[in-house]
Chain A
Amino acid sequence: MLLFLVRRILLLIPVIIGLTIIMFAIARLLPGDPVGLAAGPNATQVEREALAQEFGLDRPVWGQYATYVTGLMQGDLGRSLLTRRPVAADIASYLPATLELVFAAMAIAIVVGVPLGLLTAIWRNRWPDYLSQVVAIGAISMPRFFLGLLLQLVFAMWLLWLPLGGRLPIVVMPPPFVTGFITVDALIAGDFSTFVTALKHLAMPAIALSLSPLATIMRMMRSSSIEVMAQDYVMTARALGLPRRKILTRAIARNAFSATLTVIGLYFGWLLGGTVLVETVFDWPGLGLYATKAIVSQDMMPVIGVALVIGLIFVMANLLIDLAYGLINPKVRYA
Chain B
Amino acid sequence: MTPDLTSLTRRSLLALAGAGLAAASFPARLSAQSGKILIIASNQDIPNFDPHTASGYSAAFLLRNVYDPLVRVSGNPPEAVPGLAESWQVSEDGTEYTFNLNPEATFHSGNKVTADDVVYSFTRAAGLAKGNSWMIRDIVDPGRIEAVDEGTVKFTLAMPFAAFLAVLPWQFIVEKAAVEANLGEDQGQTWLMTNVAGSGPFTVARYEPGTLYQLARAENAWQPGGGNLDGVIWQLLRETATQRLALQRGEVHIAVDLTSEDMDALEGAPGVVRIIEPEYRTFSIKMNTESGPLSDINLRKAVSYAVNYEALVEAAGYAELMVGPLPNGILGHNPDLDVPRQDLEKAKEYLAQSEHPDGGITLRMVHVTGLEQQRRFSLIMLDSLKALNIDLEIQPMAWPDMVAASASPETFPDFFPVYQTANYGDPDNIAFAAYHSASNGNWQNAVYSSPEVDALIEEGRTTIDPDARVEIYRRFQEAVVADAPDVFGVLEMRKLAMREAVENYNFTPVASNAIYCWPLSLN
Residues of A within 8 A of B (CB): 31-34, 36-37, 40-44, 47, 50-51, 80, 83-85, 90, 93-94, 97, 145, 149-150, 152-153, 157-158, 160, 164-167, 169-171, 173-174, 280-281, 283, 285-286, 289-290, 296-298
In contact, B235 and A170 (Cβ under 8 angstroms): yes
Q: In the complex, given contacts A33-B404, A41-B433, A157-B20, what are 12 additional A-B residue pairs having Cβ atoms less than 8 angstroms apart?
A: A32-B398, A32-B400, A36-B403, A84-B47, A84-B48, A84-B53, A149-B14, A150-B13, A153-B16, A160-B24, A174-B208, A296-B398
Partner of A298, one of B24, B235, B237, B400: B400
Instruction: Kindly list chain A residues whose C-beta atoms are within 8 Å of the C-beta of B443.
Output: 41
Tell me whether B114 is interfacial, beta carbon within 8 Å.
no
Taking a contact as CB atoms closer than 8 A, the residue among B13, B211, B233, B245 that contacts A166 in the complex is B211
Min CB gap A45→B, angstroms:
8
B260 CB-CB contact with A under 8 Å: no
Contacts of A50 in B (CB 8 A): 129
Q: Is the CB of B208 within 8 A of A285?
A: yes
Given A93-B209, A171-B31, answer yes or no on A37-B193 (Cβ-Cβ < 8 Å): no
Report the Cα distance A296→B370, complex, angstroms.
11
**A97 contacts which chain B residues (CB < 8 A)?**
210
Are B17's CB and A153's CB within 8 A?
yes
Q: Which of B431-464 contact A (CB under 8 A)?
A: 433, 439, 442-444
**Cβ–Cβ contact B212 & A158, under 8 A:** no
A44, B48: Cβ atoms under 8 Å?
no
Q: Are A34's CB and B242's CB within 8 A?
A: no
Number of residues on chain B facing chain A (CB within 8 A): 50
Determine if B236 is an interface residue (Cβ-Cβ < 8 Å).
Answer: yes
B401 interfacial contact with A, CB 8 Å: yes
Interface string of B283-326 (1 = CB under 8 A from A): 00000000000000000000000000000000000000000000
- Given A41-B443, A170-B233, A285-B209, are A85 and B400 also a contact pair (CB < 8 Å)? no
Q: Please name 8 pairs of A and B residues whose Cβ atoms are closer than 8 Å in the assembled complex, sorted by A.
A: A170-B211, A170-B212, A170-B235, A285-B209, A285-B211, A296-B400, A297-B399, A298-B398
User: Contact between A44 and B137 (Cβ–Cβ < 8 Å)?
Assistant: yes
Q: Does B134 contact A (CB under 8 A)?
A: yes
Q: Is the CB of B236 within 8 A of A283?
A: yes
Q: State how many angstroms separate the Cβ of A15 from the closest Cβ of chain B.
A: 28
Interface residues of B in 20-41 (CB under 8 A from A): 20-21, 24, 26, 31, 39
Whether B404 lies near A36 (C-beta < 8 A) is yes
Q: State whether the Cβ of B407 lies closer than 8 Å to any Cβ in chain A.
A: yes
Residues B20 and A43 in contact, CB atoms below 8 Å apart: no
Option from B39, B130, B214, B246 in Cβ contact (under 8 Å) with A164: B246
The A interface, classified by DSSP as helix, strand, loop or mixed, is: loop
- Given A85-B47, A164-B242, A285-B236: A290 and B399 interface contact (C-beta under 8 Å): no
User: Given A84-B189, A85-B193: A280 and B239 within 8 A (CB)?
Assistant: yes
Q: Which of A31, A34, A150 has the most chain B CB within a 10 Å cutoff?
A: A31
List CB contacts (< 8 Å) of B186-209 with chain A: 189, 193, 206, 208-209
B233 to A149, Cβ gap below 8 A? Answer: no
B237-288 contacts to A (CB < 8 Å): 237-239, 242, 245-246
Separation in Å of the A176 CB from the closest CB of chain B? 13
Q: Which of B16, B242, B404 contacts A32 (CB under 8 A)?
A: B404
A280 & B238 in contact (Cβ 8 Å cutoff): yes
A253 to chain B, nearest CB (A): 38
**B104 nearest CB across to chain A (Å):** 33
Name the B residues within 8 Å of A169 (CB-CB): 31
Check A285–B242 contact: CB distance below 8 A.
Answer: no
Interface core residue of A42, A90, A167 (most chain B CB under 10 Å)? A42
Known: A40-B55, A297-B400. Contact between A153 and B233, CB under 8 A?
no
Query: Do the beta carbons of A41 and B404 come within 8 Å of each other?
Result: no
Nearest chain B CB to A28 CB, angstrom units: 14
The 4 closest A-B pairs by CB, nearest first: A285-B210, A83-B47, A42-B134, A32-B400
Q: Would B20 and A32 count as touching, CB distance under 8 A?
A: no
Contacting pair B439 A41 (CB below 8 A): yes
Residues of A within 8 A of B134 (CB): 40, 42-44
Instruction: Indicate with 1 or 0, residue by residue over B387-430, a CB within 8 angstroms of chain A CB atoms.
Output: 00000000000111101100100000000000000000000000
- In chain B, what residue has the closest Cβ to A290? B210
B48 A149 Cβ-Cβ under 8 A = no
B403 and A85 contact, CB distance less than 8 A: no
Q: Which of A33, A44, A50, A97 has the most CB of B within 10 A?
A: A33
Q: How far is the CA of A32 from the CA of B237 in the complex (A)?
A: 29
Question: Could you tell me the distance between the alpha carbons of A43 and B444 in the complex, rounded to whole angstroms?
Answer: 12
B20 x A158 contact (CB < 8 A): yes
Contacts of A31 on B, CB cut-off 8 Å? 401, 404
Write the chain A residue with the least CB distance to B400: A32
Q: Do the beta carbons of A283 and B237 come within 8 Å of each other?
A: yes
Min CB distance, A164 to chain B, in Å? Answer: 7
Out of A41, A160, A290, name the residue touching B444 (CB < 8 Å).
A41
B55: which A residues are within 8 A, CB to CB? 40
A37 to B403, CA, bound (A): 7
Q: Which of B24, B245, B442 contacts A36 (CB 8 A)?
A: B442
Q: Tell me whether B209 and A94 are in contact (CB under 8 A).
A: yes
| A150, B5: Cα distance in complex, Å | 12
A131 CA to B222 CA, complexed, in Å? 68
- Chain A residues contacting B189 (CB-CB under 8 Å) are 84
Question: Which of chain A's residues has its CB closest to B214's CB?
Answer: A170
Residues A85 and B48 in contact, CB atoms below 8 Å apart: yes
CA distance A85 to B207 in the complex (A): 15
**B109 vs chain A, min Cβ distance (A):** 25
Given contacts A31-B401, A33-B407, A158-B24, contact A165 B242 (CB under 8 A): yes
Residues in B with CB closer than 8 Å to A153 are 13-14, 16-17, 20
State whether B48 touches A83 (Cβ < 8 A).
yes
Whether A164 touches B245, Cβ cut-off 8 Å, given contacts A85-B48, A289-B210, is yes
By a CB distance below 8 angstroms, the chain B residues around A37 are 399-400, 403
Residues of A within 8 A of B400 (CB): 32-34, 37, 296-298
Kindly state the separation between the CA atoms of A302 and B460 in the bound complex, as whole angstroms: 43
CA distance A102 to B396 in the complex (A): 33
A31 to B400 CA separation, bound complex (whole angstroms): 8
- Whole-angstrom distance between the alpha carbons of A33 and B129 in the complex? 19
Rounded to whole Å, the gap between the CB of A295 and the closest CB of chain B is: 9
Q: Cβ of A280: which chain B residues have Cβ within 8 Å of it?
A: 238-239
Given contacts A285-B210, A289-B238, contact A41 B193 (CB under 8 A): no
B233 contact set on A, CB distance < 8 A: 170
Question: How far is B53's CA from A51's CA once the two chains are assembled, in angstroms?
Answer: 12
| Structural contact, A42 and B20, CB atoms closer than 8 A | no
CB distance from B15 to the nearest CB of A (A): 11
Residues of B within 8 Å of A33, CB to CB, are 400, 403-404, 407
A152 to B193, CA, bound (A): 36
Count chain B CB atoms within 10 A of each CB in A80, A169, A170 and give the residue with the most.
Answer: A170
